[in-house]
C-alpha cells in the first residue's frame, strides 16, 4: 500500500502535491487547535511507530545488544565488524545481483504485457485479471506453488529437458548458481501484474490521436511503439524503476519459504540478513548497523534514479 | 495477415502468457487433490488428479489448527482496517482543509515515513513494541499498521477536492467540527476509503514478516504464518502444504474476484492522483 502512494508521489506531473488552494476555509472556520485535535491520534501513531523507532535504529547501530543483557556502547564496532564480514559482503552482492535481475524483469516485460492487455479484444478483462491475480495472493502460497515448479522432477525441468535446453535436471533451489535467480523470478512473477497496471494507466493517458496520425503517415506498429509509446511512457518507467528497487529490497517471504537464505547464503539479501542476524541470532546492534547501511544504499539508489530521470522529456 | 488471423494470434499469445501466470496455481490445486497413490511429480507433468480426493485438504485442516489461523487472519483484518481508515481520515482531513501553524511540517513528517524502508524499521519497531509489552499480542501485530503515509496522502487529495460550500453551509447551520467531518466531509471521499479498505484487507491478510517477528504463540498465527509452518512440517509429502496453500488463497482470491472492478480502478485512480 505504501508502494501505491510512493507511485503517486513519484508522478512527474504536479498533480501530487496540491495544498488545497485558496479554498481552505471560509470565514468563521475552526480555530487552529481544532486541527490538532483531529491530528492527535495520527500524530501519536507517528511518534510511537515511526519517529521513536527511527531514532532507536540510529542509536542501536552503535551498541551491542542481545535483548537479554543491557545494551553496551561499542562505537563504530558494528560497522567494523560488518566491513570485515564475508557474510555481509555476500549479502550485499546478492542484493545488487537481485536488483540487477529484478529491475529488467519488472520494468521491461510488464510494458509489453500492458500493450497486449490494452488491445481492444473481447474478454481482455479476464486476461488482465489472471495476470493480476498473483499480486493479491500471499507470497507464502506462491512460494509453495513455485517450489513444485522448481522441483528436480517438476514442470520447469521437464519443459527445459523437452526443449533440449538442458540434459540433466537442475536442483534450482539447492544449486548456489540457480537459487537466487529462482527467487528473483518468483518475486518478479508476483509483481508483473502490478507493474502492468501502472503501464496500462500510462498507455491510456496517451492520446489515441497520436497513433492515428502516425498510422496515417504510414508508421507501422513497431515504429508507433518505438516513437510514440516508449517516449511517452518514460515517466511511468521511472515510477516502475523506483518501485522495483523498493520491492526488491523488501523480498522476504519468498526467500524464507523457498530457501531460508541458502544454499550457503546464496539467497541471503541484505534485508534477509538483517532479519536473520536480529531474530535468529539476537545480534540486534549489528543488525541495526546493517540496516543503516541498507538505508544509505536505498537513499543512494533513489538519488541516482532521480538524477537519471530528471530533465528527461516527460511528455 | 488477415485481421482475423491477427486476432487469433493475439489470443494465442495472451493465452500462453496466462498459462505462465495461472500455471503455478493450477499445479498447486491439482497437487492438493491428488490421491496418495499418485506420484506428485512425473515427466511429463501429470496435471489431473485421478481421482481427485480431499484427503490432504482434510489433513492440512486437521494436522495444524487451520481454522484457527483463518479466524486469526480475519480478526487481524477486522481490527486493523476500520481503525486504519478512521485514523487516516482524521489525519488527512485537517491537512487538506484547515489552515493552522505547523500544517506543512506535519504533512512532510508523515510523508517522510515513506522513506523509512520497512526492513530497516523492523528491529527498532520490534524493540518499541517489546518496550510497550506488546510482543506476542494481537495489539503488537495490529497497532504499527494503523498509520500509513499512503492513506493520509490519498485521503488528503480526496478531501481537498470537496467544494468549500459544503462545510461552510454546515457551519452556518451551527454544526460542530466533528459533525461536519463525519456527516459532511466523509461521505464524498467514500470511493477513496473503499480503495484503501480493499488494499488494506489484502495487505493485512498477506502480511508475513511483521507477525513472524512479533508472534511466538502459534495459536495467534495468521494464516500466512500457519501455512509456512505447515509447509515446514511436511518434508516428505508436499500434498498437505499444497492443500494448505489453496485453503489460504481461497478467501483473498474470492474477495479479489468480488472487488476486481474497484481494485483495478482503484489502482489506476491512485496512480492518476
A271: domain CATH number? 1.10.3720.10
% of chain B exceeding 70 in pLDDT: 95
Answer whether B78 touches A (CB < 8 Å). Answer: no
Residue B236 pLDDT level (bands cut at 50, 70, 90): low
Comparing CB atoms, the residue among A19, A127, A291 nearest residue B123 is A291
The span from the first CA to the last CA of chain A, in angstroms, equals 27
Q: What is the mean pLDDT of residues A249-269?
A: 91
pLDDT exceeds cutoff 50 at A3: no
User: Which of A27-31, A70-74, B63-67, B138-142 has the highest average model confidence (pLDDT)?
Assistant: B138-142
| CA dist., res. A149 & res. A114, Å (int) | 26
Q: pLDDT band for A297, please (50, 70, 90 cuts).
A: confident
Q: Where are the domains of chain B?
A: 3-53, 65-272
What is the pLDDT confidence band of residue A93, given thresholds at 50, 70 and 90?
very high
Counting one residue from A and one from B, how many pairs have CB atoms under 8 Å apart? 338
pLDDT band at residue B269 using 50, 70 and 90 as cut-offs: low
**Which residues on chain A are in Cβ contact (under 8 Å) with B21?**
130-131, 133-134, 189, 192-193
- Residue B197 in this model has a pLDDT that exceeds 60: yes
Question: What is the predicted pLDDT for the residue at B237?
Answer: 74
Angle between helices A139-150 and B239-272 (to 10 degrees): 120
pLDDT at B128: 92
Determine the pLDDT at residue A5.
47
Does pLDDT of A92 surpass 90?
Answer: yes
Q: Are the Cβ atoms of A127 and B209 closer than 8 angstroms?
A: no
CB contact under 8 A, A8 and B154: yes
- Residue A222's alpha-carbon distances to A115, A225, A272, A289, B5, in angstroms, are 12, 5, 42, 49, 18
pLDDT of amino acid A114: 93
pTM of the model: 0.86
Q: Do B196 and A25 touch (CB under 8 A)?
A: no
**Lowest-confidence range among A88-97, A270-279, B28-37?**
B28-37
Pick among B25, B124, B154, B163 to test the A interface (most A CBs inside 10 A) = B124
In a domain, A170, yes or no: yes
Q: How far apart are CA A101 and CA B36, in angstroms?
A: 38
The second-level CATH assignment, the architecture, of B65-272 is Orthogonal Bundle (1.10)
Q: Do the Cβ atoms of B117 and A24 come within 8 Å?
A: no
Contact B123 A25 (CB under 8 A): no
Question: Rounded mean pLDDT of chain A?
Answer: 84
Residue A202 lies in a domain: yes
Tell me, yes or no, whether A116 lies in a domain: yes
Considering A66-80, A213-227, A243-257, B79-93, the range whose residues carry the highest mean pLDDT is: B79-93
Lowest mean pLDDT among A43-47, B125-129, B165-169: B165-169
Q: Is residue A87 part of a domain?
A: yes
Mutation to test the B interface, candidates A1, A147, A276, most B Cβ within 10 Å? A1
Across the interface, whether the CB atoms of A141 and B181 are under 8 A apart is answered no
- Residue of chain B minimizing CA distance to A273: B119
Mean pLDDT over each residue of chain B, to the nearest integer:
87
- Using the predicted structure, report yes or no on whether residue A2 has a pLDDT greater than 80: no
Mean pLDDT value across residues B230-241: 77
8 Å CB contact between B189 and B162: yes
Taking only residues 220 to 239 of chain B, the set having a beta carbon closer than 8 angstroms to any beta carbon of chain A reads 223-224, 227-228, 231, 238
For A227, how many CA atoms within 13 A lie in the half-sphere containing its CB?
13
Would you say residue A301 lies in a domain? yes
Is residue A290 in a domain? yes
Confidence band (pLDDT; 50, 70, 90) for A29?
low
% chain A with pLDDT above 90: 41
Residue range of the domain that includes A254: 57-309
Are A46 and B150 in contact (CB < 8 Å)? no
Is A17 contained in some domain? no
Report d(CA A105, CA A182) in Å as an integer: 13
Chain B partners of A13 at a C-beta cutoff of 8 Å?
Answer: 273
Which residue in the block uniquely carries the three cell numbers 535446453? A165
Question: What's residue A112's pLDDT?
Answer: 93
pLDDT of residue B152: 92
Which of A12-26, A167-181, B53-67 bottoms out in mean pLDDT, i.e. has the lowest? A12-26
What residues in B contact A49, CB-CB < 8 Å?
Answer: 125, 128, 143-144, 147
Q: Residue holding cell 485512480? A: B269
In the predicted structure, residue A312 carries a pLDDT above the cut 80: no
> CA-to-CA distance for A284 and A288, rounded, in angstroms?
6
pLDDT in tens, A267-283: 999 999 999 999 999 99
| pLDDT tens-digit map of A117-173 | 988 888 888 898 899 999 989 999 999 999 999 988 888 988 998 888 888 888 898
All three cell numbers of A304? 541516482
For residue B138 the three cell numbers come to: 494481537
pLDDT level of residue A11 (50, 70, 90 thresholds)? very low
Entry field: residues in chain A:
315
Per-residue pLDDT band for B182 (boundaries 50, 70, 90) equals very high
For residue A134, the number of C-alpha atoms closer than 13 Å in the C-beta half-sphere is: 30
Q: How many domains does chain A have?
A: 1
Q: Does A23 reside within a domain?
A: no
Chain A positions in Cβ-Cβ contact with residue B206 (cut-off 8 Å): 136-139
Residue B68 has pLDDT above 90, yes or no: yes
- Residues in chain A with CB shorter than 8 Å from the CB of B245 are 140-141, 144-145
Inter-chain touch B248–A141, beta carbons under 8 Å: yes
Q: What is the pLDDT of residue B1?
A: 61
CA A168/CA A153 separation, integer angstroms = 10
Q: What residues contact A27, with CB distance under 8 A and at least 6 apart?
A: none
Amino acid at each position: 500500500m505504501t508502494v501505491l502512494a510512493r507511485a503517486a508521489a513519484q508522478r512527474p506531473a504536479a498533480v501530487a502535491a496540491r495544498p488545497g488552494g485558496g479554498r481552505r476555509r471560509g470565514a468563521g472556520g475552526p480555530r487552529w487547535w481544532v486541527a490538532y485535535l483531529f491530528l492527535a491520534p495520527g500524530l501519536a501513531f507517528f511518534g510511537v511507530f515511526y519517529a521513536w523507532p527511527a531514532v532507536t535504529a540510529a542509536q542501536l547501530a552503535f551498541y551491542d545488544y542481545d535483548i537479554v543483557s543491557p545494551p553496551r556502547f561499542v562505537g563504530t564496532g558494528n560497522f567494523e565488524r560488518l566491513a570485515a564480514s564475508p557474510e555481509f559482503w555476500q549479502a550485499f552482492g546478492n542484493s545488487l545481483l537481485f536488483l540487477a535481475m529484478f529491475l529488467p524483469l519488472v520494468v521491461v516485460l510488464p510494458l509489453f504485457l500492458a500493450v497486449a492487455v490494452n488491445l481492444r479484444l473481447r474478454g481482455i478483462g479476464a486476461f488482465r485479471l489472471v495476470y493480476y491475480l498473483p499480486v493479491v495472493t500471499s507470497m507464502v502460497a506462491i512460494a509453495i506453488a513455485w517450489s513444485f515448479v522448481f522441483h528436480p522432477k517438476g514442470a520447469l525441468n521437464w519443459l527445459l529437458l523437452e526443449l533440449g535446453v538442458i540434459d540433466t535436471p537442475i536442483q534450482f533451489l539447492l544449486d548456489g548458481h540457480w537459487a537466487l535467480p529462482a527467487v528473483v523470478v518468483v518475486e518478479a512473477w508476483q509483481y508483473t501484474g502490478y507493474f502492468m497496471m501502472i503501464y496500462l494507466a500510462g498507455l491510456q493517458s496517451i492520446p489515441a490521436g497520436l497513433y492515428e496520425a502516425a498510422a496515417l503517415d504510414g508508421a507501422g506498429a513497431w515504429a508507433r511503439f518505438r516513437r510514440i509509446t516508449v517516449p511517452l511512457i518514460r515517466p511511468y518507467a521511472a515510477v516502475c524503476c523506483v518501485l522495483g528497487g523498493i520491492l526488491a529490497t523488501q523480498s522476504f517471504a519468498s526467500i524464507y519459504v523457498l530457501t531460508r537464505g541458502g544454499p550457503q547464503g546464496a539467497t541471503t539479501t541484505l534485508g534477509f540478513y538483517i532479519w536473520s542476524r536480529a531474530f535468529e541470532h539476537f545480534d540486534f546492534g549489528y543488525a541495526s548497523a546493517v540496516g543503516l547501511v541498507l538505508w544509505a544504499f536505498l537513499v543512494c539508489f533513489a538519488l541516482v534514479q532521480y538524477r537519471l530521470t530528471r530533465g528527461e522529456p516527460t511528455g | 495477415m488477415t485481421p482475423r488471423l491477427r486476432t487469433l494470434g493475439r489470443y494465442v499469445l495472451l493465452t500462453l502468457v496466462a498459462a505462465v501466470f495461472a500455471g503455478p496455481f493450477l499445479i498447486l490445486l491439482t497437487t492438493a487433490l491428488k490421491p496418495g497413490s499418485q506420484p506428485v511429480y512425473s515427466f511429463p507433468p501429470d496435471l489431473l488428479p485421478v481421482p481427485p480426493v480431499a484427503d490432504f485438504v482434510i489433513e492440512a485442516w486437521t494436522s495444524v489448527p487451520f481454522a484457527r489461523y483463518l479466524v486469526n487472519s480475519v480478526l487481524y483484518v477486522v481490527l486493523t482496517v476500520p481503525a486504519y481508515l478512521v485514523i487516516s481520515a482524521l489525519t488527512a482531513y485537517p491537512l487538506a482543509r484547515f489552515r493552522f501553524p505547523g500544517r506543512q511540517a506535519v504533512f512532510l513528517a508523515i510523508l517522510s515515513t515513506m522513506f523509512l524502508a520497512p526492513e530497516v524499521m523492523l528491529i527498532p519497531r520490534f524493540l518499541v513494541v517489546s518496550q510497550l509489552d506488546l510482543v506476542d499480542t494481537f495489539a503488537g501485530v495490529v497497532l504499527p499498521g494503523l498509520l500509513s503515509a499512503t492513506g493520509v496522502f490519498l485521503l488528503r487529495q480526496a478531501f481537498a477536492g470537496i467544494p468549500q460550500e459544503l462545510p461552510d453551509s454546515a457551519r452556518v447551520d451551527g454544526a460542530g467540527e466533528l459533525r461536519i467531518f463525519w456527516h459532511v466531509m466523509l461521505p464524498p471521499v467514500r470511493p477513496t476509503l473503499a480503495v484503501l479498505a480493499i488494499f488494506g484487507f489484502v495487505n493485512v491478510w498477506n502480511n508475513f514478516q511483521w507477525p513472524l517477528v512479533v508472534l511466538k504463540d502459534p495459536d495467534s498465527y495468521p494464516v500466512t504464518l500457519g501455512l509456512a509452518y505447515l509447509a515446514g512440517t511436511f518434508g516428505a509429502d508436499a500434498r498437505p502444504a499444497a492443500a494448505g496453500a489453496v485453503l489460504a488463497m481461497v478467501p483473498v482470491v474470492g474477495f479479489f474476484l468480488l472487488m476486481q472492478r474497484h481494485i483495478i480502478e482503484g489502482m489506476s485512480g491512485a496512480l492518476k492522483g
